[in-house]
Amino acid sequence: MSDPDAAAVAQAVFYNMTGQAVELVVNGYLKDAESIEPIPTTIPYTPAHNTQHTYQRTPGEAHENEFGDTNTVLFEAPGFRVEVTIDVDITEYQVNNPLLIFMFQTGVVVTCPTIDSIAYVGHSGDTIQVNPSTGTRL
């Protein structure tokens, strides 16, 4: 018999909004670095996202290929390197809701389209508070 809660778990999905392929490392698991292609220069301009690894949302501490309450995200390409911490208010954004993470050359935008689509923003070195009460919004 399958676990009924397993189907309810969503993912964190990373979109590359830059003009260069980026190397992505989530939560320090270096062996799981992933290359994500640049945003296309022709129609339909749909940004590439992570496909090699899935980052399943989990309450508490994240393990390999998971996205928990507190997460480190590092991505880089020639000419830039961005590292942020993303703290997710798990009571507001429960694990059955996906998080979309948009990576730019100077920062990151995090949103949850199934809850409220508030855009939380941070630059390299920042901690992004994904929390409707205290988070930094766009």
Residues in a beta bridge with 100:
13, 111
Query: What global pTM score does this model have?
Result: 0.90
pLDDT at 4: 46
State which residues of the chain have pLDDT below 50.
1-6
Residues near 43 by beta carbon (within 8 Å), at least 6 away in sequence: none
pLDDT at 137: 74
Alpha-carbon gap, residue 24 to 38, rounded angstroms = 12
3-state helix vs strand vs coil in the chain, percent to 5 = 5, 40, 55
pLDDT at 138: 67
pLDDT at 79: 96
Residues in a beta bridge with 11:
56
Residues in a beta bridge with 82:
75
Taking residue 107's Cβ as centre, other Cβ atoms within 10 Å add up to: 16
